[in-house]
Amino acid sequence: MNEPKRRFLERAIQASATATFIAAESVFVGNIRARGQFVVFGEVQGDGDLQGGLLLSANGRWHGNVRAEEAVVAGTLSGSLIVAGKLEIGCTAVIRGSVTARTIAIAKGAIVDGEIEITSGAPLLQFEERRAGR
């Protein structure tokens, strides 16, 4: 059976023993430079330079500019987002700022209030989220 193409970061996080977590109800204030997978269930207030992937959960919030290798955004991001590889924007996502990535898939219902740039020249992929709803 073929593995689903979406949620690439979820597989990486499950296989990684070095993921960094910001727990629900936690607030991290300051800029972050990190290597490896980064998972946010709480809130970050500051810029992020992530040499790895970002998973921003549906309840997660990030206030600042973020750079990452890959990302899945299901929560709220206020600031620019630059992703070197794949970006998936879930149906519960709210992004207020510019978004740049090699490839982008966006679920129906997601909100992006800013410019979207796809650096590979590939089309913006849209999908119906089947795992969560608003």
Q: Residue 87's closest CA among 61, 74, 105, 75? A: 105
Q: List b or e across 75-110, with b for residues whose CB sees 16 or more CB atoms inside 10 angstroms.
A: bbbebbbbbebbbbbbbbbbbebbbbbebbbbbeeb
Sequence-distant (≥ 6) Cβ neighbours of residue 81 within 8 angstroms: 65, 66, 68, 71, 73, 87, 95, 97, 98, 99, 100, 101
For the cut 60, the answer to whether the pLDDT of residue 97 exceeds it is yes
Average the pLDDT over 101-109 and give the result: 96
Res. 83 pLDDT band, cuts 50 70 90: very high
pLDDT tens-digit series, residues 3-50: 445 455 555 555 555 789 999 999 999 999 989 889 999 999 999 999
Predicted local confidence at residue 68, as pLDDT: 97
pLDDT at 7: 58
Question: How many Å apart are CA 33 and CA 24, to the nearest integer?
Answer: 20
